[in-house]
């Protein structure tokens, strides 16, 4: 019988000793308010935040460097759940800028529905005399018309129209063809790009609420103007502008859009830190310092969701 020999110094005596004794870093979590840059999609922002924070998370000194014994490969679905969770609370079109609420961590991403509840505020520019397939300046022009008949009292007509039940109060609105709304498991813009525009008739109208809308700038010669409005979630501002042009006897498209408020979240630094532009989204200390761990949610009244 062989005498018992103690293991050599430094040799692990069990699987447990083969693990790092350092506890993993707690992943970052909280809510970020991002002033979304123009030409970025909402998912561009989400992917950027996830990549930057994940890289930072895994580079921390307390992240375990020694590996546990070989185990069977992690199933794809489990591997996906191990990634840092990041999501946004309400899509902004690439043309748009302004408040994009981003949730970081499982606790906060599970409450994204609450982040989308409540009222939203926008500023938007419009151009009269033109219609496009996207209802904004990024699309293909489909119709053109004169707005000369609005030269003398167009501003007064516009203000009166916006104050009418056609634009203020509870409205029925059909999502535009170029939108992220899903039908039969596909985004509407996928059908549009495939030339299946006739599917729009199958998209049901939605009930939205416009609490306030006003024209704050008007240039009769150029046919341009600016709207400011407060509305419920799910309201398409470019569709309101398209309808406004038709009601004024011409056409109109949205030329720019800025979301200035989502529930309690604004672009004002006095309300909390705001990440602005690509530079901030690359700055780890800036992102970590902007995380709000006390989640604020407006309690919407009936019909505001």
Please say whether the beta carbons of 12 and 18 come within 8 A. yes
Residue at token pair 């989502």: 262
CA–CA gap between residue 98 and residue 123 (Å, rounded): 10
For the question of residue 136 being annotated catalytic, the response is: no
Specify the 3-state DSSP secondary structure of 244: helix
The single residue of 93, 219, 282, 302 carrying the catalytic annotation is 93
Looking from the CA of 11 toward its CB, the CA atoms found within 13 Å total 6
Give catalytic residues, as residue numbers: 93
């Amino acid at each position: 019988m062989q005498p018992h020999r103690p293991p050599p110094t430094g040799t692990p005596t069990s699987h447990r000793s083969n693990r790092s004794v350092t506890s993993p870093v707690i992943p970052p979590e909280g809510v970020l308010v991002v002033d979304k840059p123009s030409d970025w999609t909402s998912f561009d922002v989400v992917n950027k935040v996830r990549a930057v924070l994940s890289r930072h998370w895994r580079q921390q000194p307390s992240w375990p460097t020694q590996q546990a014994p070989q185990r069977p490969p992690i199933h794809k679905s489990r591997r996906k759940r191990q990634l840092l969770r990041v999501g946004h609370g309400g899509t902004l079109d690439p043309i748009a800028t302004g408040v994009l609420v981003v949730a970081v961590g499982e606790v906060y991403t599970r409450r994204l529905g609450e982040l989308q509840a409540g009222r939203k505020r926008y500023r938007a520019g419009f151009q009269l005399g033109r219609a496009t397939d996207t209802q904004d300046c990024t699309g293909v022009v489909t119709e053109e018309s004169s707005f000369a008949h609005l030269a003398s009292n167009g501003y007064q007509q516009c203000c009166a129209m916006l104050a009418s039940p056609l634009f203020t109060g509870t409205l029925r609105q059909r999502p535009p063809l170029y939108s992220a709304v899903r039908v039969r498991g596909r985004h509407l813009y996928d059908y549009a790009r495939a030339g299946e525009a006739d599917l729009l008739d199958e998209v049901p109208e939605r009930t939205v609420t416009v609490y306030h809308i006003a024209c704050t700038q008007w240039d009769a010669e150029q046919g341009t103007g600016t709207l400011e409005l407060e509305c419920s979630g799910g309201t398409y501002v470019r569709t309101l502008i398209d309808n406004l042009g038709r009601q004024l006897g011409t056409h109109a498209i949205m030329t720019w859009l800025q979301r200035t408020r989502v529930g309690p979240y604004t672009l004002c630094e006095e309300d909390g830190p705001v990440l602005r532009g690509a530079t901030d989204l690359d700055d780890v200390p800036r992102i970590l310092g902007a995380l709000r761990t006390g989640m604020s949610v407006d309690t919407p009244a009936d019909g505001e969701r």
